[in-house]
Amino acid sequence: MSAEIRYISKPHPVSGLTNSKLGIWCFLASEVMLFGGLFSAYILLRTSAVEWPQGASRLNVPLATLNTLILIISSVTMVMSWASLAMKEFGKYRKYMGATVLLGFLFLVVKSFEYGHKFSHHHFPSTDMFYALYFTLTGLHGLHVIGGIIVNLYFLFPGSALWHKDPEQFTGRIEAAGLYWHFVDLVWIFLFPVLYLL
Amino acid sequence: MAHASSEDIRKHVKVYFAVFAALAFLTVLTVAVSYLHLPLPKAILVALVVASIKGALVATFFMHLSSEKKIIYAILLLTVFFFAVLLLIPVLS
Amino acid sequence: MSSHAHDHDSSHSHKLPFWRKYIFSLDHKVIGVQYTVTSLVFLLLGFSLMMMMRWQLAYPGKPMPLIGNLFGDALMVGGIMLPEFYNQLGAMHGTIMIFLGVVPLAVGGFGNYVLPLQIGAPDMAFPKLNMMSYWSYFVGGVVMLSSFFVSGGSAQSGWTSYPPLSDIATSGQTVWLFGMVFLITSSLLGSVNFIVTTIQLRADGLSFWRLPFFVWAQFVTSFLLLLAFPPLEAAAVLQLMDRVAGTSFFLPSGLVVGGKILEASGGGNPVLWQHLFWFLAHPEVYVLILPAMGIVAEVLACNTRKPLYGYKAMVYSSIFLGFMSFIVWAHHMYLVGMSTTMSGFFQITTMIISIPSVVILTALLLSLWGASIRFNTPNLFAMAFLPMFGIGGLTGLPLGLAASDIHLHDTYYVIGHFHYVVAPGTIFALFAGIYHWFPKVTGRKMSEILGKIHFFFSFIFINGVFMPMFIQGLAGVSRRLYDPTQYAHALPTQPLNIVMSVSAWLLGLAQIPFIFNFFGSLFFGKKTGDNPWKATTLEWATPTPPPHGNFATPPVVYRGPYEYSVPGQKNDFWPQHMSGDN
């Protein structure tokens, strides 16, 4: 009786997109505006401050550089997990996706060392505007990483059953998850110089 | 993209690793430049240019924006415009 | 994304247990009804808060009759409202009406129910996301309401939550912010769903230029929600950090509170909140008005038996309206001291944005020209929308110009202006929609007699509430006054407060026939066929009420949405899905 919802696994003939791909891009557009609001706030608060400490004088640049590299590598493994599915190699997908999840956790571990170090020196969000922005921006980014890890874990274990039913749809989902993960990487690429280097 | 043949994908994979090398190089570069302690306007310029290149690489290759459908470009164009409007806020105050 | 549309079990809807079919339903129609009922309850609640405020404004310092003694001493002493409680009512009236009432009804209710039907889709593109969107809204609403019970009461810094006041307010403000995060999430999920559904799931033959204006209005609205809400989410996160983690994003250095310098690191900027807030809240005005215009267009076209005048101009205008609404926000902030260049820019954009609104309103008005108009309840509400929204829109012009805004800013004139847009404007359109689509949802018509009683009394009393506000505002009476008799310049217009308050309570009474009509017609309304109004759009092509999956066979569309009274045709309506002549 009920008609199926179309364009779940096959793209729409005119738009050329599946529902999930269009949906994830709309979501990312809203994310751009979210971080846009925060960057805007950062610029306003920084330019109106009497003085502003250089990031490197307060924060651990080598550790953050390591974290940047971790996220970049995880982006590569993420895109490789999608490419493996596109090449119909499910075993490889699992390895790459597993690596992505582990790298995500590694990023959080490094981040928590950084936070712990700050807290042990009594540097809190309430200390001054620099730390307020540092903790808020990296904290919100961290939440996005956690969200990504949860999604990726889902697709690594229970969600991957779909591969055997509808490989095309599953590949599309991994592409969408990948787009989100790359976006999280992209935000960090801007956060890193803004907070640590300038 | 989802309908590219395996052969095409194999070509993509090579590109992904090249992009990775570029990203890693640019990360090291921007950190290295920060140790030179350039005056702030120049430092901001360098850091943002490098970050923009890195961001563009991620968006173009990892997020497949190099060959995407028109609707997505349209939505992103709209978003970029309103993002720019958001950055008016510091100018206004 | 959960593009996973149909579980195996959901395609056998009749076997679903009750809680899957009616509570955690994936069907857009059930979700639409859930939204509608929930938001109507919230509208009634928000309206009740206002009726209590109106007592204080009309008879300040007098004990409230009947219900005054029901409230504890923290809110009312001997039935006399405390200033803190008045502020809570004001803040929560605005919040509830906008974020929990009108937007969920216009977008969540009507959008969810009608849009997939009008585009010939079996459901929304992401049914699970749709369900999450509703439940996120529901939780947000419960969180908001729970704030009345925390110590110090609910938020009391106005629906705009301007810092620094909101930063140092009692803990109800924190709850308000958490509630907002849920509501924003709900809006985001919903807007993604609407955009994808409209682009991807239109029936064969239904090109963009054949879409009903309602669908266009919802489509543009979704983009506003998608791109304007996140900056407010950013602002809410910053204010939450200020309140919970002790940051000073919105607290300037050396802020003096109660004679003492506030202990905070400082360096923040309260105007930043205003920017981020109005970056959302101005587009939000069009989120409130566009779906209303869409409903009015549908109801008018059907009940005038002729095509909409200037359909394409209306569509282009609504797109332009949506676009411009992002670059006018600072006209709410002429008093913060921006440069004349910047205020000039925003005055110009504000004047420009009035043009597409006028185009749409004029097109709707001209649609009445030479029509054989049906004066049924939905059409009465739809036609009343036109002058009411007209008053709301035209009184906005003096507020968009800095010179006159300096006098009118934060007076009752502003209150009158935006209420004319939202209350007799949008809410009347929403009533029109309820009366219009009720037969499709339930298979029964609502009573015309009760409907007309509801309409005429509402129409009279709602003007009695809001028209005097312009006079008060021009006299310089500020909004958010707990006791207007404390101010010499407010005394001459104090008798008007009694007129407005009595009108408000009578307006409340005028809703009783509607409530009876709504529930009574579920059981006793006149049974109708699939297309009782003889309308052309696709939602009338389904069985009534529409089953799970909506259409028996996927519909194909052959013509535009408003083919009424086409010369040479036997009937005066030519449905979109009809392949040949009729």
pLDDT for B30-56, tens place per residue?
A: 999 999 989 989 999 999 999 999 999
Q: Is B72 on the interface with A (CB under 8 A)?
A: yes
pLDDT (0 to 100) of residue B9: 86
Residues of the domain holding C62: 29-250
Strand (E) or helix (H) holding C260: strand C260-261
**pLDDT over 90 at C161, yes or no:** yes
Residue C387 is assigned to a structural domain of this protein: yes
Band of pLDDT at residue A157, cut at 50, 70 and 90: very high
Contact between residue C167 and residue C203 where contact means Cβ atoms under 8 Å apart: no
What is the reported pLDDT for B3?
A: 52
Q: Do B81 and B54 have their domain in common?
A: no
Long-range CB contacts for residues C573-577, cutoff 8 Å, separation at least 24: C573/C305, C573/C534, C573/C535, C573/C536, C574/C536, C575/C531, C575/C535, C575/C536, C575/C537, C575/C540, C575/C541, C576/C206, C576/C210, C576/C536, C576/C537, C576/C538, C576/C541, C577/C120, C577/C203, C577/C538, C577/C541
Are B57 and B73 in a shared domain? no
CB-CB under 8 Å, B24 with A69: yes
Position C582 scores a pLDDT of 72
- Assess contact for C185 and C67: CB atoms under 8 A: no
Question: For position B88, what pLDDT does the model report?
Answer: 86
Residue C89 included in any domain: yes
Residue A132, domain extent: 58-197
- pLDDT attached to residue C319: 97
Query: Is C24 buried (19+), middle (13-18) or exposed (0-12) by CB count in 10 A?
Result: middle
Is residue C368 domain-shared with residue C225, that is, in the same domain? no
Whether A62 is covered by a domain: the verdict is yes
User: Is B74 in the A-facing interface, judged by CB distances under 8 Å?
Assistant: no
CA angle B7, B12, B15 (to 5 degrees): 140
A93 within a domain of the structure (yes/no): yes
Query: C376 and C227, same structural domain?
Result: no
* Secondary structure (H, E, C), C14-51: HHCCHHHHHHCCCCHHHHHHHHHHHHHHHHHHHHHHHH
Mutation to test the A interface, candidates C9, C21, C193, C200, most A Cβ within 10 Å: C200
- The two three-digit tokens of residue C431, written as one number: 């009533």
- At residue C354, does pLDDT exceed 90? yes
Domain membership flag for residue C567 = no
pLDDT, position C139: 97
Q: Are residues C230 and C300 in the same domain?
A: no
- Tens-digit pLDDT profile for residues A35-92: 999 999 999 999 999 889 988 899 999 999 999 999 999 999 999 999 999 999 999 9
CA distance C373 to C363: 16
Helix (H, G, I), strand (E, B) or coil at C172: helix
Is residue A51 in a domain? no
Is residue C116, in this structure, part of any structural domain at all?
yes
Q: Are residues B42 and B57 in the same domain?
A: yes
Q: What is the pLDDT of residue B4?
A: 60
**Which residues of chain B are within 8 Å of residue A41 when distances are taken between CB atoms?**
89
List pLDDT tens digits, range A118-156.
999 999 999 999 999 999 999 999 999 999 999 999 999
Task: Measure the CA–CA gap between C493 and C478, rounded to whole angstroms.
Answer: 12
Query: Does the residue A41 lie in any domain?
Result: no
Same domain, C201 and C313: no
Q: Which CATH number do you get for residue A172?
A: 1.20.120.80
Contact status of C196 with chain B (Cβ, < 8 Å): no
By CB atoms closer than 10 A (0-12, 13-18, 19+), residue B61 is: buried
Per-residue pLDDT at C7 exceeds 60: no
- Return the half-sphere exposure (C-beta side, CA atoms, 13 A cut-off) of residue C564: 22
Q: How far lies C456's CA from each of C298, C427, C452, C463, in Å?
A: 21, 14, 6, 11
C317 and C375 share one domain: yes
Query: Are B10 and B36 members of one domain?
Result: yes
| Residue closest to C394 by CA, chosen among C433, C440, C361, C434 | C361
Phi/psi for C80 (5° steps) reads -95, 125
Q: Answer yes or no: is A66 within a domain.
A: yes
Instruction: State mean pLDDT over C414-431.
Output: 97
On whether residue A151 sits in a domain, the answer given is yes
Determine contact: A69 vs chain C, CB below 8 A: no
C176: nearest Cα among C257, C266, C99:
C99
Q: How far apart are CA C536 and CA B38, in angstroms?
A: 68
C528 and C432 assigned to the same domain:
yes
Report the relative pairing of strands C76-77 and C80-81 from DSSP bridges: antiparallel
B23/B47 same-domain check: yes
Asked if residue A8 is part of any domain, the answer here is no
Number of structural domains chain A divides into: 1
Task: Name subunits touching C (3+ CB pairs < 8 A).
Answer: A, B
* Spatial separation of the C-alpha atoms in residues C365 and C387, rounded to whole Å: 9
User: Do C364 and C491 belong together in one domain?
Assistant: yes
B58 and B73 within one domain: no
- Helices C213-244 & A19-47 angle (0-180, nearest 10): 40
In a domain, A143, yes or no: yes
Task: Indicate whether A29 pLDDT > 50.
Answer: yes
Same domain? For C293 and C165 the reply is: no
What integer pLDDT is reported at residue B89 of this predicted model?
A: 87
Instruction: Place C14 in a pLDDT band, splitting at 50, 70 and 90.
Output: low
What residue numbers bound the domain in which B37 lies? 1-62
Same domain for C292 and C200, yes or no, is no
| Arithmetic mean of pLDDT, C459-465 | 97
Q: Is residue A48 within 8 Å of residue C269, measured between CB atoms?
A: yes
- The whole-number pLDDT of residue C399 equals 96
Count CB neighbours of A22 within 10 A: 29
Report the CATH number at residue C437: 1.20.210.10
Integer-rounded Cα Rg, in Å, for chain C is: 24
Question: How much is the pLDDT for C3?
Answer: 41
Residue C158 pLDDT > 60, yes or no?
Answer: yes
Three-state DSSP at C77 gives: strand
> Which residues lie closer than 8 Å to B35 by C-beta, 6 or more apart?
none
Q: Cβ distance C92 to C49 under 8 Å?
A: yes
Interface test with A, best of C30, C196, C227, C272 (most A CBs within 10 A): C196
Neighbour count for residue A45 (Cβ, 10 Å) = 24
